[in-house]
Amino acid sequence: MLNRRKMLQGVATGIGAAFGASLASRPLLGAPGSGNTTPKRIIFFMQNQGFDPKTCVPNGVRSSRSLAKLELPEPISALEPYKDRLHIISGLHGRHASPSHSAFFGALGGYRGSDGVPPSASTIDYELSNVLPQTLLPHLCIGMDSIENMKSKPTIATLSASGAGQPIFMHSNPNHLYQMLYGGISTGDIRLQHEARSNLLNQIENFAALKGRSLPSTEQQHYGQFVQGFKDVNGLRGRLDTVSDHLRKFAPKVDERYTKPEFETDWHDCLLDLGISALTSGITNTLTIGSGRGEIFGAWKGLGIEQQGHNLGHINQPENPIWIKIRQYNCRMLVKIMDALDSVPEGSGTMMDHTLIVYTSNNADKQHTNGANWPVMLLGNLDGAFKTGCFTQLDGKRPINALYTSLLRAAGKNVDRFNMNEQLAKKFDSGSGPLKELLV
């Protein structure tokens, strides 16, 4: 039987891990940089069950070239008007990540991952959130799944981590996420629920801190991490309240999709709206979207697809009407993100001019894979750092870690490798440093 202390530890662990690091010193909102600091943001969109290169590489193309005169495959046809901002990459590998079914934390960590295995190091999205100009909420993760799974497990940790054994939780219930981000500016039942939840968390923080003082000194430091989790979430709530007038301009409208979803895609769309609002309002500049939540599940009944979960991974993706629908839905989401960021002026351009979207899968090219090819699409150029309007075919000798090294370099951190020591690199990486084929 769980005692009260263990129960509080579990709750606090989830809260603290949801943010990855203390928010105590975070600025109120991300804003256009002062001095020489340029506002930048990165979005990761991870689709489960694999990303077959034939669903994104133009027909007949085998070598690197411009996309200008090529027609995009049907699954990503929604990106046709955005080809000048698109970079399709084939030939990265993730053999060392053991991605069959899913690499889980290893997909964004560039290390061996598996179901139920804790992260062995931080993931690239978390590392970038520390390099990019700081915001109130350094990193937001949202996860999309079947409506049953999202209701029964409103948070889950499978993709992102702030360090070894430190998972970051994805938010999957849009009502809970809305309350966290915008409860302070809401009215009616949402406001009442927000205030009740806030009072409860304040009480738990005080109770946990008081009880922690009575523990043996060897346990006080460890228990302090749980107390810090409550301090972080309570601090975030209070700081969001101080910018309520600003947030009102960006908060999505709550409608029946939130409270009475007909299909899981209603909640998917709500979660996307909340993620976009967190970016455009400046709450965060690093967003991770897990479609399928980094696992082998997922459902899209709202697209007229009755199959769901593991069975979808046993369906060949190229020219398959089911996967065409799923990939087209993904691409419409990508377009919605780009259009929203393009609508917000920033510097001499728009927010999208300073943004990069990374679209791939958490298990390389297909569900049962050895990771020999890990296709990726990039949208945007992160303030001119990345080449666009092209297809790049690599030789399969450089790992996804090299892509993540490139992202860190473009964000301003001078590194030659990401989560790969020299011994591992000798076996899995033919070079070092960023991918010159990607950077300007």
Q: What is the pLDDT of residues 195-241, one digit of tens each?
A: 555 554 455 555 555 555 555 565 555 555 555 554 566 567 677 77
pLDDT for position 185: 65
Return the closest-CA partner of residue 231 out of 7, 57, 12, 4: 12
Give backbone dihedrals phi and psi of 355, rounded to 5 degrees, phi first.
-120, 150
> Is the residue at 97 inside a domain?
yes
Q: Which range, 8-17, 37-46, 100-109, is most confident?
A: 100-109
> Is the residue at 283 inside a domain?
yes
pLDDT at 264 over 90: yes
Return the closest-CA partner of residue 325 out of 373, 265, 376, 266: 265
pLDDT mean over 285-302: 96
Q: Which range, 27-36, 120-129, 136-145, is most confident?
A: 120-129
pLDDT for position 153: 93
> Is the residue at 346 inside a domain?
yes
Regarding pTM above 0.85, the answer is yes
pLDDT mean over 79-106: 97
| Model pLDDT for residues 130-174, shown as the tens digit of each residue | 999 988 888 999 999 999 999 999 999 999 999 999 899 899 999
From CA 258, how far away is CA 373, in angstroms rounded? Answer: 38
CATH of the domain at 145: 3.40.720
Q: CA-based angle 288:294:300, to the nearest 5?
A: 95
> Is the residue at 4 inside a domain?
no
pLDDT for position 13: 40
pLDDT for position 343: 96
> Is the residue at 20 inside a domain?
no
| Model pLDDT for residues 365-420, shown as the tens digit of each residue | 999 999 999 999 999 999 999 999 999 999 999 999 999 999 999 999 999 999 99
- CB 128 within 8 Å of CB 42: yes
Tokens representing 248?
């009102």
Tokens representing 61?
């193309």
pLDDT for position 138: 87
Per DSSP, 144 falls in state: E
> Is the residue at 403 inside a domain?
yes
CA-based R_g, the chain, Å: 21
What domain range includes position 99?
Answer: 37-186+251-428
> Is the residue at 29 inside a domain?
no
Q: What is the mean pLDDT of the chain?
A: 86
Question: Can you tell me whether residue 24 is helix, strand or coil?
Answer: coil
CB < 8 Å & 24+ apart, contacts of 71-75: 74/324, 74/328, 75/317, 75/323, 75/324, 75/327, 75/328, 75/331
Count CA within 13 A, CB hemisphere, residue 255: 10
Q: With bands split at pLDDT 50, 70 and 90, how would you rate the model's confidence at 180?
A: confident
Number of domains in the chain: 1
> Is the residue at 363 inside a domain?
yes
The greatest distance separating any two alpha carbons of the chain, rounded to the nearest whole angstrom, comes to 70
- CB 93 within 8 Å of CB 376: no
Q: With bands split at pLDDT 50, 70 and 90, how would you rate the model's confidence at 260?
A: very high
